[in-house]
A and B are shown apart, each in its own frame.
Chain A
Amino acid sequence: MNPTNPAAYWRLNKTWQKWLGKRGTVIVATTIRVPAEEQSAFAPYDFVLIDFGKEKHSFMGVGHESFQPGDQVRCVLRKLAQPSSAAIIPYGIKVTKDLCQV
């Protein structure tokens, strides 16, 4: 999936409603220090496997937040890749630490 591709981006943003605001628990995480070129502006960033209860899913973590197993997280909308001047700005789902646990 290339989120800077308009058609792929259109398919991707149809999933936002499912994930936005969803809360989960970190199963395992890593800090990616050598990313692909389109994520180079974000490095280092965490990549996180999350248990959302009925399903598991992996997402990038926001900014430079560091995640540990057991951390509570929620899904937010953030840039996924570095945009080029000619392309759309590729937003998508990332996770952030959930500081407002219910």
Chain B
Amino acid sequence: MTITIAGNYITRFGELWDQGLTDLLIEASLGAVKNANLESSQIEAVFVANMAGGNFNDQRHLNAAVSQVFFHHPPAMRIEGACASGGLALLAAEHALLAGQYQTVLVVGAEKMLDVTTSVATKILATAADTTEEYGSTFPGLYAMLARAHMSEHGTTRDQLSSVAVKNHLHGLTNPYAQYKTKISVEQVNQSPLVSDPLRLLDCSPLTDGAAAVVLTIKRVVKKPIIIGFGHGQDSLTLAGRKKLTTLSATVNAAKQAYQRSTITPTQVQVAEVHDCFTIAEILAIEDLGFFKLGAGGKASQTGKTTHGGKIVINPSGGLKASGHPIGATGIKQVAYLAQQIEKSAFNVCLAHNVGGSGATAVVHVLKGSKS
């Protein structure tokens, strides 16, 4: 049984004052259905990804909010796994398709983060950590500790972290949906204000409003990308419970499953959208996904091996760093963006990597172009 990405849609990412959370969900949902050349009535179920609409926007019950847009009110559920909400919603949809429950479903994710102040957003995002065991931490703070550990164990440098941000901003210039279309330099990253040592402001992905959606089907659709593998890994919610701080085992396990299902090896992947919520997160990802040896991610980033003309193109959209990170949308946006690249024949074998919190949850998808 083959799962085809029949349709995709990504809204603008950024500070979208004129659109509320449900506006974004509706735009992406209807956009993906239209892109799939389907009637709304052909959507049999809806999977909605969102982390914190109840906190950011005082709006919960998002499954119903999306279902009511369709005259036939298809069954809908909301799925939450912090920043991995989108990846998990895709998995839930895929499981339902493969179980034979449905033949065509919509997966939509959104987050509307910029209606609150930065300090309120910081508190909401910190709930992706263990709010008792890691009370007082922040999302950047936990990744800063991972960065410190990686720098200590592998000699990863400040300039290597910065090179990830520089490359992703360069990639974002070509992405019409990207929040930031601004070229930055290593020096600018190195001199930006410290947020949580050693991570600086330009090491961090931004707060973003945005949504993305895909229509998945097991019906035969010609010349559309197909999902050939997926995997799901979990680890301790707390950093204290991890065996190592220099690798995310959730990513390693998710990737292993995805590679096995797809019979693809890391060397066959041409392009990957990875979860670069912070620069160190991209370095961890490209090592844990098997693209580079453990400890070699920083050097690979600095020497141009992760951009066009290198070993593999990482985050052609600009990643979370430049394209933006509307939490619930991100995992779906990665797959939607890669589907668009396949449809444009820019790439053929692609990987999407979505992480929740400081690495407790990871979802990996492998996509491929369909010849027929």
A and B co-occur in one complex = yes
**Partner-binding segment picked from B135-143, B296-304, B310-318:** B135-143
**Max chain A Cβ within 10 angstroms of own Cβ: one of B136, B193, B194, B245:** B136
Q: Tell me whether B245 and A28 are in contact (CB under 8 A).
A: yes
Cα A49 to Cα B195 in complex, Å, equals: 18
Closest to B149 in A: A28
Q: Tell me whether A30 and B144 are in contact (CB under 8 A).
A: yes
Over the window 175-206 of chain B, the binary record of Cβ atoms lying under 8 Å from chain A Cβ atoms (1 yes, 0 no) is 00000000000000000011111110000000
Cβ of A22 to closest chain B Cβ, rounded Å: 14
Chain B CB within 8 A of A35 CB: yes
Cα A54 to Cα B230 in complex, Å, equals: 36
Q: Tell me whether A47 and B145 are in contact (CB under 8 A).
A: yes
Q: A49-B239, A57-B240 are in contact. Are A34 and B120 (CB under 8 A)?
A: no
Cβ of B345 to closest chain A Cβ, rounded Å: 43
Cα A33 to Cα B238 in complex, Å, equals: 21
Q: Tell me whether B133 and A58 are in contact (CB under 8 A).
A: yes
Cβ of A20 to closest chain B Cβ, rounded Å: 16
Chain A CB within 8 A of B126 CB: yes
> In the complex, which of the residues B131, B135, B199, B245 contacts A92, with contact meaning CB atoms closer than 8 Å?
B135
Which positions 195-245 of chain B face chain A at CB distance < 8 Å? 195-199, 238-241, 245
Chain A CB within 8 A of B134 CB: yes
Chain B CB within 8 A of A1 CB: yes
Closest to B199 in A: A30
Q: Tell me whether A56 and B118 are in contact (CB under 8 A).
A: no
> In the complex, which of the residues B133, B135, B140 contacts A34, with contact meaning CB atoms closer than 8 Å?
B140
Q: A1-B135, A37-B123 are in contact. Are A58 and B148 (CB under 8 A)?
A: no
Q: Tell me whether B132 and A30 are in contact (CB under 8 A).
A: no
Which positions 109-154 of chain B face chain A at CB distance < 8 Å? 118-120, 122-123, 126, 131-138, 140-141, 144-145, 148-149, 152
Q: Tell me whether A80 and B141 are in contact (CB under 8 A).
A: no
Cα A30 to Cα B144 in complex, Å, equals: 6
Cβ of A85 to closest chain B Cβ, rounded Å: 19
Cα A30 to Cα B119 in complex, Å, equals: 18
> In the complex, which of the residues B118, B123, B133, B135 contacts A80, with contact meaning CB atoms closer than 8 Å?
B135
Q: A28-B145, A30-B145, A55-B240 are in contact. Are A36 and B119 (CB under 8 A)?
A: yes
Cβ of B248 to closest chain A Cβ, rounded Å: 15
Cα A34 to Cα B133 in complex, Å, equals: 20
Q: Tell me whether B245 and A36 are in contact (CB under 8 A).
A: no
Which residues of the other chain, A, contact B123 by a CB distance below 8 angstroms?
36-38
Cβ of A52 to closest chain B Cβ, rounded Å: 10
Cα A33 to Cα B141 in complex, Å, equals: 9
Closest to A52 in B: B240
Closest to B136 in A: A60
Cα A76 to Cα B191 in complex, Å, equals: 35
Cα A26 to Cα B240 in complex, Å, equals: 12
Chain B CB within 8 A of A89 CB: no
> In the complex, which of the residues A39, A40, A58, A92 contacts B134, with contact meaning CB atoms closer than 8 Å?
A58
Over the window 1-45 of chain A, the binary record of Cβ atoms lying under 8 Å from chain B Cβ atoms (1 yes, 0 no) is 111000000001000000000000001111111111111100001
Which residues of the other chain, A, contact B122 by a CB distance below 8 angstroms?
34-37
Cβ of B221 to closest chain A Cβ, rounded Å: 46
Cβ of B237 to closest chain A Cβ, rounded Å: 11
**Max chain B Cβ within 10 angstroms of own Cβ: one of A31, A34, A38:** A34
Closest to B147 in A: A30
Cα A32 to Cα B199 in complex, Å, equals: 10
> In the complex, which of the residues B119, B136, B152, B240 contacts A49, with contact meaning CB atoms closer than 8 Å?
B240
> What are 17 A-B pairs at a CB distance below 8 A?
A2-B131, A28-B149, A28-B152, A30-B196, A30-B199, A32-B196, A33-B194, A36-B126, A39-B136, A47-B145, A49-B145, A49-B239, A49-B240, A49-B245, A57-B240, A58-B240, A59-B136
8 more A-B residue pairs beyond the given contacts A34-B138, A45-B136, with a C-beta to C-beta distance below 8 A: A29-B145, A31-B196, A33-B196, A34-B140, A35-B138, A37-B119, A39-B136, A58-B238
Q: Which residues of B contact A (CB under 8 A)?
A: 118-120, 122-123, 126, 131-138, 140-141, 144-145, 148-149, 152, 193-199, 238-241, 245
Q: Which residues of A contact B (CB under 8 A)?
A: 1-3, 12, 27-40, 45, 47, 49, 55-60, 69, 80, 92
